A and B are shown apart, each in its own frame.
Chain A
């Protein structure tokens, strides 16, 4: 309220509102011209460059964002592919392990069968060999017994068969042959 009162009193004294406000028309116009000149200069030389820089920056940012987006998409895609590959690898590994287990089981079974067959063959061969050896021993014993009997008979004949007995034996043999 005091300020307004002071302003009204000043205006009445000087008779001009602008003067009362302390505005100098010349200075104002110069300031306006200067301002416009500044605006024109800025609009001609600074703003286009500035706007261009801003646009470039924006474009760069957009490009970077786009690249980042593409990279993310690529990364996501790669991640998916990696996961898919990992899944396939895991499945393949599981298949390999399963096949290996199966083959190992089959190999063990085959080896057991072979070992069993081999053991049975060894036992059969041993039995056959033993049987053969027993037969051979029996034959040899038989033959040795024959040899001994023949030898003993020979000794007995040499001792017991004298000339007289021999002649009687010959006569008897001739009769038998008739």
Chain B
């Protein structure tokens, strides 16, 4: 019976494969097969996060941008530039999401960092930080 691999080992392997230029679809298939085979599908979220983290160490940043309205290309480009500047990454790939409850501004999630400049967060801070009761 094969030795059980740690989450870190799996993430490192997958990140290396992606960095080497392996087809993402193939890598994802391998990972899914392994997790199903070893009955560790519940760890998928954590492993993906770890892969993102190790890829970011290699200069490839995968992030998520959430905003109240759909962003145009110029704004996305500005966010990518900002991310590159912040992380020193060579490649930045951003996934976009729309969440009207954020009201305005943008929320950027990248491995190890989170930038939340949304109006919803500012209002939450206003409501919680200055509450006395």
Given A169-B104, A173-B105, A173-B117, A142:B132 Cβ within 8 A: yes
* B-contacting residues, A119-178, CB 8 Å: 136, 138-140, 142-143, 146-147, 149-150, 153-154, 157-158, 161-163, 165-167, 169-171, 173-174, 177-178
Q: Does B2 contact A (CB under 8 A)?
A: no
Q: Interface 1/0s, chain B 56-87, versus A by CB < 8 A?
A: 00000000000111111011001100100100
Given A142-B132, A143-B133, A173-B117, A163:B70 Cβ within 8 A: yes
Given A146-B126, A146-B131, A174-B79, A167:B72 Cβ within 8 A: yes
Given the complex, which residues of B lie within 8 Å of A169, measured CB to CB? 104-105
B68 touches A150 (CB 8 A): no
B133 touches A150 (CB 8 A): no
Q: Does B106 contact A (CB under 8 A)?
A: yes
Given A149-B126, A163-B70, A139:B133 Cβ within 8 A: yes
Indicate which residue in A161, A170, A177 contacts B75 across the interface (CB closer than 8 Å).
A170
Per the bound structure, the CA–CA distance linking A140 and B132 in Å amounts to: 8
Given A149-B126, A178-B82, A161:B68 Cβ within 8 A: yes
Indicate which residue in B103, B126, B131, B132 contacts A161 across the interface (CB closer than 8 Å).
B103
B127 touches A146 (CB 8 A): yes
Given A139-B133, A178-B82, A167:B69 Cβ within 8 A: yes
A139 touches B127 (CB 8 A): no
B127 touches A147 (CB 8 A): yes
Per the bound structure, the CA–CA distance linking A155 and B75 in Å amounts to: 25
Q: Does B123 contact A (CB under 8 A)?
A: yes
B82 touches A174 (CB 8 A): yes
Q: Does B48 contact A (CB under 8 A)?
A: no
Per the bound structure, the CA–CA distance linking A165 and B67 in Å amounts to: 13
Q: Does B1 contact A (CB under 8 A)?
A: no
Given the complex, which residues of A lie within 8 Å of B69, measured CB to CB? 162-163, 166-167
Question: Taking CB as reference atom, which chain B residue is nearest A163?
Answer: B69
Given the complex, which residues of B lie within 8 Å of A173, measured CB to CB? 105-106, 117
Per the bound structure, the CA–CA distance linking A158 and B103 in Å amounts to: 6
Indicate which residue in B70, B82, B126 contacts A150 across the interface (CB closer than 8 Å).
B126
B119 touches A157 (CB 8 A): yes
B123 touches A136 (CB 8 A): no
B105 touches A150 (CB 8 A): no
Per the bound structure, the CA–CA distance linking A169 and B119 in Å amounts to: 10
Question: Taking CB as reference atom, which chain A residue is nearest B85?
Answer: A178
Q: Show 6 residue pairs from A and B whose CB-CB distance is below 8 angstroms, ordered by the A residue.
A: A142-B133, A149-B126, A153-B119, A154-B119, A167-B75, A177-B117
